[in-house]
């Protein structure tokens, strides 16, 4: 059965709207009975049964034993055929790479992370990613031809249609390199989608986090850089050239320091991880914080953003002030975006997201002070609770979203 099916897979997989509705229901509920599906959709029992038979025939669905009786005959349960194939999510960060192997319903089966340096050339980096994927596949016992989709998030501006990085500051050697082409060589059956890392985090938050059923939200990643993933009307907003959400280079202070983008006083240059570390080192050197000075000496003369967090937790005033200043600058920018975009939620993630409440409180305060009341009364600003999982989860969701395509979408507006 799987053998005959395998050769028929052509990605993306086209579904009509009835099939899509069934699969969507199964994604949400895990298991479902034919009768419940009929009731949910409003279709007749015959049509529902026929559609299910077709999907089982095609290999998407399988029976999953018997359900519990509702006072009559026991129903037969249906679930997504987990042997149909697998999808992979890859979250490439500036200093690490996260990979997840998931089944066709989006459940993560295997997961792996390791440090990595994105500044190297794409071939060895992606080669290592392929190795990791192959390793996870071995653990799961899955063949290369069973990999149907791969979603990849990269930390830079992505021309989404082409799946190519455009002028990426962190990884200049990747410019115009076809990530899709490289990965396809190892997984010819797979449908490869490349997107910005923040977009996939937003997608992860929407599918498996607190962003579920939220129409309009912003996911802000604060780490080495600062970026935002935008969801409008329940869909990722990528903008006309696919680089929407690049808020790291919004101007905070015209007289501020020079950013790697060439401008002055960008948010990223003043409030992201490196800026925090830099300010902390100044505080250590000019004697305003003994604790930071000691940490710096322990670290061999440098401070990382995490060290500032450590100092902050121990009540160091200088460190606290640095974090507060960052939060305020980020909040000032977000205030403008709240006025413009009017989201109901802002999720904050990235390496700095576990910096505790000092950062969050100052962000909230700045936003509330500078945004319109109507925009803030129902606004929630919180850390993403998905932690480092948002990225890979979103990458898996991205792969699935573009693996299954609904055909014959009718016009939605007059």
Partner DNA sequence: AAAACATTGTCTATAAAATAGACGAAGTTC
Partner DNA sequence: GAACTTCGTCTATTTTATAGACAATGTTTT
Burial bucket for residue 40 (CB in 10 Å: 0-12, 13-18, 19+): middle
Which one of the spans 2-10, 70-78, 149-157, 221-229 is the region binding DNA (CB under 7 A)? 70-78
410 counts as binding DNA under rule CB under 7 A: no
Measured CA to CA in angstroms, residue 218 lies from 197, 205, 230, 243, 390 at distances of: 14, 10, 5, 14, 14
Residue of 2, 30, 66, 297 interacting with DNA (CB under 7 A):
66
The answer to whether 280 touches 320, Cβ cutoff 8 Å, is no
Shorter beta-carbon distance to DNA: residue 34 or 264:
34
Exactly one of 34, 105, 232, 263 binds DNA (CB under 7 A); that residue is 34
Instruction: Say if CB 97 and CB 128 are below 8 A apart.
Output: yes
Note whether 25 binds DNA by CB under 7 A. Answer: no
Using the rule CB under 7 A, give the single segment among 35-43, 130-138, 286-294, 321-329 that binds DNA: 35-43
**Which region, judged by CB under 7 A, interacts with DNA, from 31-39, 140-148, 277-285, 287-295?**
31-39
Beta strand spans in 273-390 (E): 345-349, 380-383
Is residue 73 close enough to count as binding DNA by CB under 7 A? yes
Exactly one of 3, 4, 8, 72 binds DNA (CB under 7 A); that residue is 72
How far apart are alpha carbons 1 and 81 in whole angstroms? 12
Task: Please enumerate in sequence order all residues whose Cβ is within 8 A of that of 103, keeping only pairs 6 or more positions apart, or say none.
Answer: 80, 82, 86, 87, 109
Select from 46, 65, 262, 410 the one that contacts DNA (CB under 7 A).
46
Helices then strands, each counted (H, E), the chain: 15, 17
Cis peptide before 12 (omega within 30 of 0): yes
- Nearest alpha-carbon partner for 110 in 153, 163, 147, 63: 147
Site for DNA contains 75 (CB under 7 A): yes
Q: Which is nearer to DNA, 81 or 289 (CB)?
A: 81
CB of 206 to a second copy, least distance (A): 10
Q: 264 in helix, strand or coil?
A: strand
In whole angstroms, the minimum distance from the beta carbon of 41 to a second copy comes to 11
By three-state DSSP, how is residue 1 classified? coil
Nearer to a second copy, 228 or 363 (CB): 228
Total residues binding DNA (CB under 7 A)? 22
Q: Which does 49 bind (CB under 5 to 8 A by kind): DNA, a second copy, none?
A: DNA
In angstroms, the CA 389 to CA 45 distance is 40
CB 158 within 8 A of CB 196: yes
Taking the complex as a whole, the smallest distance from the CB of residue 72 to DNA amounts, in Å, to 2
Q: Which residues bind a second copy (CB under 8 A)?
A: 15, 17, 20-21, 23-24, 27, 157, 159, 166-167, 215-216, 228, 230, 232-235, 237-247, 249-251, 261, 263, 332-333, 335-337, 339-344, 369-375, 377-379, 400-401, 404, 406, 409-414
Site for DNA in 93-132 (CB under 7 A): none
Place of tokens 């969050």: 360
Instruction: Give me the DSSP letters along 111-178.
Output: EEEEE--TTS-HHHHHHHHHHHHHHHHHHHT--GGGEEEEEEEESS-EETTTTEE-S-SS-GGGBT--
75 touches, from a second copy, DNA, none (C-beta below 5 to 8 Å by class): DNA
CB-nearer residue toward DNA: 32 or 366: 32
Residues that bind DNA (CB under 7 A): 18, 33-36, 42-47, 49-50, 66, 69-76
């Amino acid at each position: 059965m799987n053998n005959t099916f395998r050769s028929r897979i052509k990605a993306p997989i086209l579904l009509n709207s009835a099939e899509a509705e069934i699969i969507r229901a199964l994604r949400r509920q895990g298991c479902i009975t034919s009768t419940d599906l009929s009731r949910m959709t409003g279709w007749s029992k015959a049509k529902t049964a026929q559609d299910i038979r077709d999907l089982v025939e095609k290999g998407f669905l399988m029976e999953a034993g018997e359900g519990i009786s509702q006072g009559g005959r026991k129903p037969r349960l249906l679930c997504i055929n987990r042997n149909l194939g697998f999808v992979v999510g890859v979250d490439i960060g500036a200093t690490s790479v996260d990979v997840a192997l998931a089944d066709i319903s989006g459940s993560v089966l295997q997961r792996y992370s390791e440090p990595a340096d994105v500044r190297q050339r794409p071939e060895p980096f992606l080669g290592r990613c392929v190795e990791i994927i192959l390793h996870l596949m071995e653990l799961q016992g899955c063949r290369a031809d069973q990999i149907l989709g791969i979603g990849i998030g990269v930390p830079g501006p992505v021309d989404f249609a082409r799946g190519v990085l455009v002028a990426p500051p962190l990884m200049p050697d990747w410019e115009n390199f076809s990530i899709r082409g490289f990965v396809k060589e190892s997984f010819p059956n797979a449908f490869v989608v490349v997107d910005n890392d923040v977009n996939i985090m937003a997608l992860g938050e929407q599918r498996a986090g607190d962003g579920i059923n939220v129409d309009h939200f912003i996911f802000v990643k604060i780490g080495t850089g600062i970026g935002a993933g935008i969801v409008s009307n329940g869909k990722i907003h990528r903008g006309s050239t696919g680089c929407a959400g690049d808020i790291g280079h919004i101007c905070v202070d015209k007289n501020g320091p020079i950013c790697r983008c060439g401008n002055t006083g960008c948010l990223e240059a003043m409030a992201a991880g490196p800026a925090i570390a830099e300010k902390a080192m100044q505080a250590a050197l000019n004697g305003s914080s003994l604790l930071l000075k000691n940490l710096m000496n322990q670290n061999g003369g440098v401070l990382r953003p995490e060290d500032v967090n450590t100092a902050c937790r121990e009540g160091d005033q200088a460190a606290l002030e640095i974090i507060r200043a960052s939060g305020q600058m980020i909040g000032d920018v977000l205030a403008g975006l709240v006025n413009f975009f009017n989201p109901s939620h802002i999720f904050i993630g990235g390496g700095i997201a576990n910096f505790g409440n000092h950062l969050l409180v100052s962000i909230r305060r700045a936003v509330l002070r500078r945004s319109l009341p109507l925009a803030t009364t129902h606004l929630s600003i919180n850390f993403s609770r998905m932690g480092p999982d948002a990225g890979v989860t979103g990458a898996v969701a991205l792969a699935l979203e573009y693996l299954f395509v609904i055909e014959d979408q009718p016009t939605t507006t007059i």
